[in-house]
Amino acid sequence: MNATNSKIYAVIVAYLPDETTLTPLLQRFSDQVSRIVIVDNTPKNDDRLVQQLIRTQFALDQFAIVRLGDNLGIATALNVGIEIARSEGAEFVVLSDQDSLPAADMVPNLLAAYRTLTADGIRVGAVGPTFADLHTELTYPFQAHISGKFFYGHMRPVPEAPQIEAITLITSGTLIPLTVFDEVGTMREDFFIDHVDIEWCHRARAHGYRIYGTGWARMAQRMGDERLRVWYGRWHDESAYNPLRIYYRLRNFVALLRLDYIDWRWKTRNSLYWAKTIYAHTLFGKQKNKSLHMALKGIWHGLRGRMGRY
């Protein structure tokens, strides 16, 4: 990877991967990173990942493949991949799920943003790309503290200000120096899935690191399962989630509310967001009653501290 001149490992979490989305992802990363670590949460009697890699005819020595034999969650899988990268002397990891598609120059541009920020004396914990949802075709801004806003606002990178100090980043596309994990720790495995990235970013910021989104790097991402049309005085497109994902998302959000290193203003603003999510899925979703049931169960389990796999 001569373009970046650094040892960067991609850590990709797979679960029942679809070849039409996994192959382009691997192709993009194979041209940008030193090594690709795939941690597979697919059950042990399903070997689709290995078969897909054989068919694609990639140079397999660029890959490290770990099959966990069961779905142990995205946090556990990320931690396994991070530890492999650490043991092999990587300087950075760039994290991803299987439903993402990085731009052809995403990784070197993430590294360029990181180097620009650290050259200014900033203690950078992570840098993430600007991303667009493949379902809604919306490009998302970054959550950021903005002067004059009591809670927080949203900012988009512009050519004259391409780096945005963000509150949180999503997992996919996030570039993290391995040394940061030594102080901050890795991902919370009891979250299993959803808000793993959010909790880690808040924890990194609590340790004095700063989190950035950059307009120099781009990535496409499938947010949710499909598009959901919701009425808020007029029609809006939102990402739809199945009832089990709604359970995890609500449960883990309640778990975030119990953490003292997360600002109460962030908690308040996001509580309103999740109230809207319940409204959207229980009135406009395909599985209204099931979604409401799982949302309430997620809130209850979050209050009780019942974490891990459902």
Judge if 213 and 241 occupy the same domain.
no
- The CATH number for 46's domain is 3.90.550.60
**Rounded Cα gap, residues 170 and 196, in angstroms:** 9
Q: Looking at this protein, which amino acid is placed at residue 240?
A: A
| Residue 266 CB coordination number (10 Å) | 19
Segment 161-180, tens digit of pLDDT: 999 999 999 999 999 999 99
Judge if 210 and 232 occupy the same domain.
no
The answer as to whether 3 is a domain residue is: no
- State the average pLDDT over residues 81-103: 96
pLDDT band at 149 (very low <50, low <70, confident <90, very high): confident
pLDDT band at 2 (very low <50, low <70, confident <90, very high): very low
- Percent of the chain beyond pLDDT 70? 96
Segment 229-264, tens digit of pLDDT: 999 888 988 878 999 999 999 999 999 999 999 999
What is the pLDDT at residue 58?
A: 77
Judge if 282 and 258 occupy the same domain.
yes
Judge if 13 and 145 occupy the same domain.
yes
Which pTM does this prediction carry?
0.93
Judge if 124 and 238 occupy the same domain.
no
The answer as to whether 2 is a domain residue is: no
